[in-house]
Amino acid sequence: MEFNLMEKLAVIKAVDEVIQIDETIRKGEVRFMERLSKRLGFDSELLASAREVEAAEALAVLRAMPDAQKQTLARLLNEAANADGDVDEREIRFIYRIFSAAGIEVDI
C-alpha cells in the first residue's frame, strides 16, 4: 500500500503512539518499527517529524484516507500492539479512539 508523505507521517505517528502508550519499548516493538520503516520507506528523521505532527492534524489526514488505506492502518495498529507479545489495555483503548476518529469501521 502506498501512502503520500502526509499519510505516512500520520500513520507513523499513530503506530509510534500505540507502541509508546505503555511507556515501555520492547525488542519486538523495535523490530516491528524496523520492518515498518522498510515497508513504508521511512527513516529516523521522518519518525522524528511524525512525532512533531499535531494529533488533530494526523487524525484529519487519517480520516481523509480511502478505505483501503484505513484497513491497512488498522492492520498496522494491530500488529504494533501485538509486537511485544503483550497487548496492554491502554493500547486497545487508544487504537479504538483512532478507529473512531478516523472513521474506521470495526467488525467484532
Domain boundaries, the chain: 5-102
pLDDT at 64: 97
Q: What is the mean pLDDT of residues 80-93?
A: 93
pTM reported for the whole predicted model = 0.92
Judging by beta carbons within 10 Å of its beta carbon (0-12, 13-18, 19+), is residue 97 exposed, middle or buried? exposed
* Residue 72 grid coordinates: 491497512
CATH homologous superfamily, domain 5-102: TerB-like (1.10.3680.10)
pLDDT at 24: 87
